[in-house]
A and B are shown apart, each in its own frame.
Chain A
């Protein structure tokens, strides 16, 4: 009957719901989004296509004392913790990582609003 819902998530835009078959509620929305197909097909800079979970597969232990490691999971421009769709971590690891980063920031090992200059040239997650 109805095709399944296509939920596209982009880090900078609001979630866009696209239904293949028009219904009463989404008719206007579909008309609005149809013109944006070409934009959504292009690869936006914040997209991580890697299917692997980089921490679980390697059994890495992280702590607040290692800000260099934690800075990989933080935006290089704003210092914000990257969301799960970018880091590709399982919920457990993501929560632990987030609390470790917050701990490192509070204890004075990591900055809040940026990444340290020495770490900017490190290898990126994606």
Chain B
């Protein structure tokens, strides 16, 4: 089990759509056998540059950082499934800096 961080930028979602999006992202993580420690929302704000995803361009997004432990073999699967999610603008998985 390796400690990872997944920084996801979701598209601007309404109050009803956001929990569903977060739940699906968490579900992807849990399905691959990871233990989610923390889910931190960094707020909804203007993106530093226009980003393209799913044949659309985005200027605003919501930043969420998932803190989790996962087996290193599942990283590829997690990323590919997160990228397929239409609510996700950008997702990056990095090894956590904290021990």
A-side residues, CB < 8 A to B, are: 61, 63-65, 67, 103, 105-113, 116
Contacts and interface: CB of A to CB of B under 8 A. Distances in A.
Interface of B: 7, 9, 42, 47-49, 51, 61, 63, 65, 89-90, 92, 94, 97
B7 A110 contact: no
A112 B48 CA distance: 8
B83 to A, nearest CB: 14
28 contacts: A63-B97, A64-B7, A64-B94, A65-B42, A67-B48, A103-B94, A105-B48, A106-B92, A107-B7, A107-B92, A107-B94, A108-B7, A108-B48, A108-B51, A108-B61, A108-B63, A108-B89, A108-B90, A108-B92, A109-B7, A109-B63, A110-B48, A111-B48, A111-B49, A112-B48, A112-B49, A113-B49, A116-B48
A109 B90 CA distance: 11
Interface on chain A toward B: helix, strand, loop, or mixed SS? loop
A110 B7 CA distance: 13
A17 to B, nearest CB: 40
Contacts of A108: 7, 9, 47-49, 51, 61, 63, 89-90, 92
Nearest to A112: B49
A103 B49 CA distance: 15
